[in-house]
Amino acid sequence: MSDGASLAIAFAITLGIAAVVGGLAGGVVWSGLGPEERAAAIEMLAPRTGLLIFVGLLGIGVISVALQPAIRSHFNEARRLAEEARIMLAANPDYRIEPRGTSGMRQLGEALNEFGGRVRELRAEVDVKIAHAKASVEEERNRLAALMSELTQGVLVCNREGRILLYNERARHLFAGGEPGIATLVGLGRSIFAVIDRNLVGHGLDAVAQRLAQGDAHPVAHFLTTTQGGQLLRVHMAPVRGLLQPGGEETTEQPEVTGFVLTLDDVTRTFEDDTRRDRVLHSLTEGSRAPLANIRAAAESLLDYGDMDDAQRARFLGVIAEESRALSARLDRTMHDHADSLKTRWPLENVLGADLIGAAQRRIETRVGISAKLDDVDAALRLEADSYSLTQALAYLAGRLKEALGVREVRMRLGRSGRNAELDLMWRGMPISGSVLQTWEEEPMRAGGEESPLSVKDVVERHAGEVWHQTDPTAQSAYFRLLIPAATAAVPARREAPATSSRPEYYDFDLFHQPGQSADVDARLLSELAYTVFDTETTGLEPSAGDEIISIGAVRIVNGRLLRHEVFEQLIDPRRPIKSASTAIHGITPEMLNGQPSIDRVLPVFREFTEDTVLVAHNAAFDMRFLQLKEEATGVRFTQPVLDTLLLSEVLHANQELHRLEAIAERLGINVVGRHTALGDAIVTAEVLLKMLPLLAERGIRTLGEAREASKRTYYASVKY
């Protein structure tokens, strides 16, 4: 009920009371008169009835006017207590109400002050617990940092999306490669794909997932990569797995992979040493073959023909001496020769053959688009192989068969042949000629839109193997056979990862008084509205101190559907330095912004993208403050209503401690992808909003106005920085 209605009711009650009191008083006087007195009174008052009514009403009016200040004071005092209670509870825990007014109002004010004091004590206790928790986490972090700094291997811990959560100095140094500026490729929040090929990482995760599915207690993968500085790295990948259900209960289901740990070894020196030894061995074997044959022939002639004359003997001895000197010189040259005349041997890893075949099967089906079946695969056979390049080679050959012969299905088999393994890629139909096979062997591999500078021949030579083509007339089929080294060993495992922090909450922008808000818009159902969900990345966290937007990402929601293809994504040149702490979170470097448009060119386009929609963001006041500060310079104003998923989370889950985007997404069962990129965060926020809409409806919050009012009453909406 409004204050006006309450005041009118109070006046009506007052008038009623005055009328009742006057009537009772008149009745008492009338009952005390005798018959003659009553007749005389009637005779005297009858002609003055109108005057009496007027005097009575005037008296009632005087009483009402006299009581009005007291009534208004009572209502004003109640409103003041409510307002000051809200200030004390929502904005300033140290604020205290001044008790005044009636005895009841003073007692209520004192009670609210006691309640406020208790709330402040509880908040102080929470603050102490938070401080203790932070101190404990900080201590654990320092211990981990000290441990990692002592490791001789590089270590990178990444989340499922490939964002770097943790790294040691050794890892940063490995990818720096001695080149200025390259060291920045490894940092908190940066993508691992900036330093390691996405396909290699995906191949490793596929291998880990397959081993998990097979019940392997220690699923790991290995692959090799090169850095921009030219180093050759051996990478050991192990998954980070969740052990408990979200509610904390143990589960018998397969733990979810939430990230991965990469352990890095620089094998450049080992590789070079092995190559050098290979060259020496080749020189001693192949290069010495002819001189040794000549020496042997000359020596045998001397032994067989002991009666030869001195001239012939001298000639044979000269051959022996000359070839001996040539052999000695060759040995000297091979010891110091670093020519690239021979192909280098690629370091190989011990892998399970069935895993390699399974990876090749998935690659052929997904990238080439033909069916791949397995025949007679030796499940225990292990290989000395680079599984990534081998699966590339098999997919490439399958692709060429599809293009040249129209093959729609291939079959693979794997078995042992002495010290080697025979890997066959089979198909039904026409065989190919030797010249075609030679062409396919020597050209760079391309399959499913993926290109490699290597050829099938390079891959086979790296494995010290062979490849050939055969036909099977009885089965009316043909096959490629790859002969590669067999092996015998097994592999170990690894552990878990911490999480990145979110940016702090900033509320120096009034979300609740946007010019574009109106009664019509507020009355519309949340389920009927169109939304632009957006996020910004910035040079720093202080919009009023000159920090600038460097990236905007946005996605639209229409009719309750997230339109993943209707997106806005743009990098922006801020024309000022980016703070290193910000780069560590979003991974955007100054080099990435060179040549990008300025904010005055981007905002008009973004404003058009948001036309006729409600703006939504997580911690929206932070992003809106940056936009507001650009209004004068760009002439672009964002006047739409704004919703904040941080505030809506507080409305829905007031008893939860965490309202960071990651925590909300986890609570609502949303998979976080592309965290700390503008578009990635916008998409996650959009999915959060869609999950929140039915929950809001259950609480009776169905319209935009109701959502805004509920948000306005949250604790976070009152925080200012």
Residues with a catalytic annotation lie at: 676
Cβ atoms of residues 626 and 535 within 8 Å: no
d(CA 205, CA 295): 57
Contacts of 635 (CB under 8 A, 6+ apart): none
- CA quadruple 410, 414, 415, 418: dihedral, nearest 10: 110
Which long-range contacts link 6-14 to residues 24+ away (Cβ below 8 Å)? 6/75, 7/71, 7/72, 7/75, 10/71, 10/75, 11/64, 11/68, 11/71, 14/63, 14/64, 14/67, 14/71
SS3 395: helix
- CA quadruple 413, 415, 417, 423: dihedral, nearest 10: 30
Cβ atoms of residues 278 and 338 within 8 Å: no
d(CA 571, CA 579): 16
Burial of 344 (0-12, 13-18, 19+ CB in 10 A): middle
d(CA 60, CA 16): 9
Total residues belonging to the chain: 721
**Torsion sign, CA atoms 641, 646, 649, 651:** negative
- Taking alpha carbons only, the member of 200, 199, 153, 147 closest to residue 172 is 153
353-363 helix and 198-213 helix, angle to the nearest 10 degrees? 120
d(CA 519, CA 515): 12
Task: Using only the alpha carbons of the chain, give its radius of gyration.
Answer: 42
d(CA 93, CA 122): 10
Between CA 427 and CA 437, with CA 433 as vertex, the angle to 5 degrees is 75
* Token representation of residue 178: 């001695």
Contacts of 392 (CB under 8 A, 6+ apart): 363, 445, 447, 450, 452, 454, 459
Cβ–Cβ contacts within 10 Å for residue 485, how many?
14
SS3 349: strand
